[in-house]
């Protein structure tokens, strides 16, 4: 039998080194696998962690300064980002009850324009503190009240002159002199004009809830009421002289007046329907109604018909006060039409660029 030989010392060391290296490699492999598994597990969350429902909400502070003295009036705090400027005005009114939201004018700069109530407060923010300048706009009235007051006065004033009160005209002359038919027709047309305005204010026009200074209503009433008194005094005077061309002049002028009144009404209905339906992407287009075909020539046909009514009324009555009033109305309406035409050009350039503002070719 062969005896098993003992390994030499060199061979024994070599075996230990090999065994230790295997153990070391096995330990390193285990550690590497553990690290790799941890990496895979940590990378397995592909979705971002859910946002906490009760996240911190950022509030704004609005510092309100006096536009003249630059002194601080108050600070309106805890304004949510979704708030509008009208919400700020209501909170400002709670802090300063003497200033109602309708008479508060707020500006970003001292000489800048007044900010609209519908503007979002977040769009004004550069930091968490917003500085606005306050101006007292004075006593305000709603647009519905403004127009109802402005149009009710001429209607009632004209009727007072039409019945020929003894305090206005001489009672003896009033009973002796015969009234020409044009006097009755003028009263009908004048009342029809302002009754149409009143009904459209109540049932056709859609006001956004804005306000205007009380002084504007006083100036408007002084203009309309004063001219109505002057016009009605001359037309209903016992010594009133009828038009030069008699019934033919009166008939043609009255027919033109009624057509302009009808056209003005249908244009206002078309504009109100467009604004109410929210279709503001294109310029108002004419419908099957022939009175709306004026949209093909001018951008503000309601002003065209308004001017046409007063020119027709001037021809029908042939009085100087009506002529002066019609001339002033042409100037005022042309200014309003030019201003609105410029806005239309910015919004509806392709549709409006070849149209006139109020009167074709001339304006």
Q: How far apart are CA 244 and CA 225, in angstroms?
A: 28
Residues near 254 by beta carbon (within 8 Å), at least 6 away in sequence: 185, 189, 312, 316
Residue with more model confidence, 353 or 197 = 197
Beta carbons within 8 Å of 121's beta carbon, 6+ residues apart: 60, 62, 79, 81, 83, 84, 85, 87, 88, 130
Compute the average pLDDT of residues 235-243. Answer: 94
Distance between CA atoms of residues 303 and 337, nearest Å: 7
For CA atoms 155, 157, 160, 161, the dihedral sign is: negative
Q: Which residues pair with 213 in a beta bridge?
A: 140
- Please state which of the ranges 4-8, 88-92, 200-204, 323-327 shows the lowest mean pLDDT: 4-8
Q: How many residues can be counted in the chain?
A: 363
Q: Name the CATH topology of 60-138.
A: Ubiquitin-like (UB roll) (3.10.20)
Query: Which DSSP string do the residues of 236-256 spell out, in sequence order?
Result: TSTTPPPPTTHHHHHHHHHHH
Residue 22, pLDDT score: 46
Res 281: pLDDT: 58
DSSP three-state, residue 134: strand
Asked if 205 and 270 touch (Cβ cutoff 8 Å), the reply is no
Give me the percent of the chain exceeding a pLDDT of 70: 81
Most confident of 141-145, 184-188, 345-349: 184-188
DSSP H or E run through 92: helix 85-95
Q: What angle do CA 268, 273, 276 make, to 5 degrees?
A: 120
Residue 23 pLDDT: 41
Q: Are 128 and 200 in contact (CB under 8 A)?
A: no
Cα distance between residue 153 and residue 229, in whole Å = 10
Query: Which DSSP string do the residues of 156-221 spell out, in sequence order?
Result: HHHHHHHTT-TTTS-HHHHHHSPPPHHHHHHHHHHHHHHHHHHHHHHHT----S-EEEHHHHHHHH
Domain with CATH 3.10.20.90 in the chain: 60-138
Q: Considering only residues 141 and 360, tell me which one the structure prediction assigns the higher pLDDT.
A: 141
Task: Report the alpha-carbon distance of residue 174 to residue 171 in Å, rounded.
Answer: 5
Spatial distance between the Cα atoms of 45 and 242, rounded to a whole number of angstroms = 95
pLDDT 10s digits, 283-323: 787 889 999 999 999 999 999 999 999 999 999 999 999 99
Query: 275-310 burial by CB neighbour count: b if 16+ within 10 A, else e?
Result: eeeeeeeebbebeeeebbebbeebbbbbbbbbbbbb
Q: Provide the mean pLDDT of the chain.
A: 84
pLDDT of residue 4: 46
pLDDT > 90: percent of the chain: 59
pLDDT tens-digit series, residues 105-128: 999 998 889 998 889 998 988 888
Confidence of residue 145 (pLDDT cuts 50, 70, 90): very high
Its pTM stands at: 0.77
């Amino acid at each position: 039998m062969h005896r098993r030989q003992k390994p030499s010392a060199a061979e024994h060391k070599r075996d230990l080194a090999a065994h230790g290296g295997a153990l070391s490699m096995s330990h390193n492999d285990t550690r590497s696998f553990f690290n790799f598994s941890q990496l895979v597990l940590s990378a397995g969350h592909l979705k971002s962690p859910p946002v906490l429902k009760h996240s911190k909400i950022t509030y704004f502070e609005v510092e309100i300064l006096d536009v003249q003295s630059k002194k601080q009036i108050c600070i309106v705090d805890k304004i949510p980002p979704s708030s509008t400027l009208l919400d700020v005005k209501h909170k400002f009114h709670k802090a300063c009850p003497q200033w109602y939201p309708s008479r508060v004018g707020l500006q970003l700069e001292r000489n800048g324009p007044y900010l609209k109530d519908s503007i979002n407060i977040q769009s004004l923010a550069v930091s968490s503190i917003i500085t606005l300048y306050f101006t007292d706009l004075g006593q305000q009235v709603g647009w519905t009240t403004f127009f109802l007051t402005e149009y009710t006065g001429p209607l009632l004033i004209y009727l007072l002159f039409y019945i020929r009160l003894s305090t206005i005209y001489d009672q003896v002359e009033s009973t002796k002199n015969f009234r020409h038919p044009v006097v009755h027709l003028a009263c009908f047309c004048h009342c029809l004009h302002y009754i149409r305005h009143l009904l459209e204010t109540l049932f056709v026009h859609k006001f956004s809830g804005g306000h205007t200074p009380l002084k504007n209503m006083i100036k408007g009433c002084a203009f309309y009421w004063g001219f109505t008194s002057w016009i009605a005094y001359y037309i209903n005077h016992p010594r009133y002289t009828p038009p030069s061309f008699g019934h033919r002049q009166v008939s043609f002028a009255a027919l033109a007046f009624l057509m302009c009144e009808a056209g003005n009404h249908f244009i206002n209905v078309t504009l109100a329907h467009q604004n109410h339906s929210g279709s503001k992407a294109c310029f108002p287009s004419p419908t099957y109604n022939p009175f709306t075909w004026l949209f093909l020539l001018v951008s503000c046909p309601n002003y065209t018909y308004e001017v046409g009514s007063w020119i027709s009324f001037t021809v029908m009555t042939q009085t100087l006060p009506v002529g002066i009033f019609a001339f002033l109305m042409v100037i005022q309406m042309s200014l309003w039409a030019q201003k609105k035409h410029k806005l239309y050009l910015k919004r509806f350039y392709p549709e409006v660029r070849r149209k006139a503002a109020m009167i074709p070719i001339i304006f």
